[in-house]
Amino acid sequence: MNSVKRLIFRIKTRPELYIGSRSLSLLQAYLYGWLNRDEASVVDGNLIGEFQGWIAEKYRISSTQSWAQIILFYSVDERDALEKFFRLFDEFLKENEKSE
């Protein structure tokens, strides 16, 4: 099964294996490449778009900045941003589960 959620959980355990180093920008590029390779087969492909809206709302951003750019802006560096992404993504999933 092709799942964004499952892929992110795998990357979280060993980021260097998938993206080379602990970098949010590398994660973003990897995720978009992975999604675009066969978007129709991804069961939860809309999750990244929903996460984008959630991040923009959480940080009260009304511009067209990507979720990665927003997180990076509020982080010390790429490594910190990646760790922050994983925490925020977990929070996003928990909030989504409550609203379903």
Task: Note the pLDDT tens digit of each residue in 24-51.
Answer: 999 999 999 999 999 889 999 999 999 9
pLDDT digits 0-9 by tens, 68-91: 999 999 999 999 999 999 999 999
3-state percent helix, strand, coil for the chain, nearest multiple of 5: 75, 0, 25
Six-digit token pair at 89? 């993504």
Question: What one-character DSSP code corresponds to residue 2?
Answer: B
Distance in angstroms (rounded) separating the CA atoms of residues 78 and 41: 30
Considering the entire predicted model, what is its pTM? Answer: 0.92
Largest CA distance in the chain: 36
Confirm if 7 and 47 have CB atoms less than 8 A apart.
no
